[in-house]
Structure 1
């Protein structure tokens, strides 16, 4: 138990340092398409502090003439460990507005060109997504969204909100699911490196879907991701001798 809390202390302390370094770095290159990708590299020492080893299975594939919406399962604060090594090029994040209040990190999030959304204001949120759809269509801007809308905290893959999928349909964008193995499989209580997997699924085209079918597109992507996450979890169980 001591080892677990010691690691948590180290990671939280480094998170504050990381956020300060990110702000300093981004002051000199704010609002650039790859700002988040560059800043993510500053997080990598946290892997050593937490003794976590995440193995990317593949890299994303996408059509060069289409914008992309990346979607991923949202579990808990360990999400950042899963994504550091595989952050896609030229991608901005759509995150909840409360992020701005996290000391230093909120400022870094803003300086990286990411987008804040107020989910409690449904009319404003849909207007923002409409604007993003136009920017994606006109400028091939890629965005990253967590379609569950909240952390699952061990409850499995939660139902998806329709916003990301309606935006993909309006923008004519592909959807690329990012599947991370369950963070409940990551054990920080012993000296053995905690292992996780992350995998990009093939692009899912939004062509042929109408806005009224955004829910169907969401359910299709949810089915694909749920099956893949189960496959990744089974792989970890097999390698650890639990099956």
Structure 2
């Protein structure tokens, strides 16, 4: 797959090995914007920080940005405001902030760089002046094992109001890199450091391969003088209002496409022909409105064996549009019962023939899918399902549920795996916006189910699950140093 090949070419064509480090700053480099503001907002909402205390911190942040305050003063003030709070609570707060605010700010191109380094077996680390509560949930999500941050002192699980050691800022980042190099046997002369700010100039000057990402004007001038290659990624800098309009318009186009198909039904007497017209219309109009493009490998497998049960790894709510775009006609689907409650969308899904099931009741779900067996056999209709049962928002799949595979076995049709690599670039976790982008999709060859039985079903499903992991692993091979 070549979506980010130009961005990752230097890494892809370079040496491999865990002795080479890829060090990343966090704010402005891995994520767009600054995590501290989400953190402060949550502290105020929790009552852990008064509005006046927050204003004092914001004032220091502003003065720090203008060069009128040092980073140590800012961190000391933050530490003092944390005094007496339980660290365990803030581990949960950090995860909540990531799920709600920061996951959607991950820059797709930066993630591609991280994954490229992982493919090469490099030692990937985040070295950030932020706290672990801001950084570590993202590191875990991205599969990054090594994190160096500024810390706050904790005794008996309680913040003391003091700093926890030397700050990971300026020369402190160089020290953190040297510590990691000593522990892991790294060659820093052959290693990379990605940052957006002159606050990191010490480590940029120390490392063998400084790589400014989204550089500030000041850092860009320095980089140009010193011949450091720079990149600016704008995939997360679009208008929020436009992104929201894309989302709403795309969803409304689903209902509009169903209405547009009604005359086809009336004129031909064929409900399926109306559904085919509506599905194709939604695929093209919805994709245009969302700014969605597809890069497809194995497209011939979409038509190699129909009817079939198509299964896909569920990363995003835009997966529905992706499936419509590639399947086009003569297919139905399965969704969660809650969709019925969504105005227009629920009605449109049912008109499309989508079976809406109660996922909390396995017997009810199985009974609800029984008519699909008849449709597959008698009407030659394919079915598309997400065997994980819910969205993962990442390339790490959840354990597969059995419904799709029971369906294929009972209908006597093959399973066709659809592997979606990066739908979260267009519709990220926690976001109500759609971002224009290209999603990589790979269609794997049909898998025969004729010899499947209840006795060997779990074994066969485990093989398909492993196939997904192996296929996704081609672009996100996590290597533990």
Once structures 1 and 2 are overlaid, which stretch shifts more, 192-201 or 137-146? 192-201
| Closer/same/farther in 2, CA of residues 193 and 146 from structure 1, 3 Å limit | closer
Task: Quote how far apart the aligned CAs of 1:36 are.
Answer: 2.5
Select the residue among 403, 414, 423 that pairs with 1:183: 423
Distance in 1 between residues matched to 2:259 and 2:328, nearest whole Å = 22
Aligned equivalent of 2:125: none
Distance in 2 between residues matched to 1:167 and 1:40, nearest whole Å = 25
Matched, 1:143 2:379: no
Deviations 1:57-83 (A, max 9, x none): 23214235xx30000010122324533
Select the residue among 43, 62, 73 that pairs with 2:313: 73
Select the residue among 335, 338, 342 that pairs with 1:95: 335
Matched, 1:22 2:269: no
Aligned equivalent of 1:217: 460
Once structures 1 and 2 are overlaid, which stretch shifts more, 71-80 or 20-29? 20-29
Once structures 1 and 2 are overlaid, which stretch shifts more, 198-207 or 89-98? 89-98
Select the residue among 363, 372, 392 that pairs with 1:152: 392
Task: Quote how far apart the aligned CAs of 1:87 are.
Answer: 2.0
Distance in 1 between residues matched to 2:436 and 2:401, nearest whole Å = 34
| Closer/same/farther in 2, CA of residues 16 and 202 from structure 1, 3 Å limit | closer
Matched, 1:63 2:305: yes
Q: Is the 8 A contact 1:95 1:117 kept in 2?
A: yes
Partner secondary structure for residue 144 of structure 1: strand
Once structures 1 and 2 are overlaid, which stretch shifts more, 35-44 or 98-107? 35-44
Q: Is the 8 A contact 1:71 1:145 kept in 2?
A: yes
Partner secondary structure for residue 204 of structure 1: coil
Q: Is the 8 A contact 1:93 1:145 kept in 2?
A: yes
Once structures 1 and 2 are overlaid, which stretch shifts more, 86-95 or 52-61? 52-61
Aligned equivalent of 1:203: 446
| Closer/same/farther in 2, CA of residues 39 and 53 from structure 1, 3 Å limit | closer
Cα RMSD of the aligned pairs, angstroms, is: 2.7
Question: Which 5+ residue runs of structure 1 have no aligned equivalent?
Answer: 235-243
Larger Rg: 2
Q: Is the 8 A contact 1:72 1:146 kept in 2?
A: yes
Name the count of aligned residue pairs: 226
Matched, 1:229 2:438: no
Matched, 1:166 2:422: no
Q: Counterparts in 2 of 1:39-58, with a 5 A limit?
A: 39-48=282-291, 52-58=292-298
Q: What TM-score, normalized to structure 2?
A: 0.43
| Closer/same/farther in 2, CA of residues 53 and 46 from structure 1, 3 Å limit | same
Relative contact order: is structure 1 or structure 2 higher (C-alpha 8 Å, sep ≥ 6)?
1
Partner secondary structure for residue 216 of structure 1: helix
Distance in 1 between residues matched to 2:296 and 2:245, nearest whole Å = 24
Q: Is the 8 A contact 2:395 2:472 kept in 1?
A: no
Once structures 1 and 2 are overlaid, which stretch shifts more, 77-86 or 166-175? 77-86
Task: Quote how far apart the aligned CAs of 1:102 are.
Answer: 1.7
Distance in 1 between residues matched to 2:436 and 2:355, nearest whole Å = 34
Select the residue among 247, 266, 272 that pairs with 1:12: 247
| Closer/same/farther in 2, CA of residues 170 and 37 from structure 1, 3 Å limit | same
Q: Is the 8 A contact 2:316 2:424 kept in 1?
A: no
Distance in 2 between residues matched to 1:135 and 1:24, nearest whole Å = 23
Once structures 1 and 2 are overlaid, which stretch shifts more, 166-175 or 122-131? 122-131
| Closer/same/farther in 2, CA of residues 213 and 133 from structure 1, 3 Å limit | farther
Distance in 1 between residues matched to 2:282 and 2:237, nearest whole Å = 31
Task: Quote how far apart the aligned CAs of 1:107 are.
Answer: 1.3
Partner secondary structure for residue 95 of structure 1: strand
Q: Is the 8 A contact 1:36 1:92 kept in 2?
A: no
Distance in 2 between residues matched to 1:208 and 1:116, nearest whole Å = 29
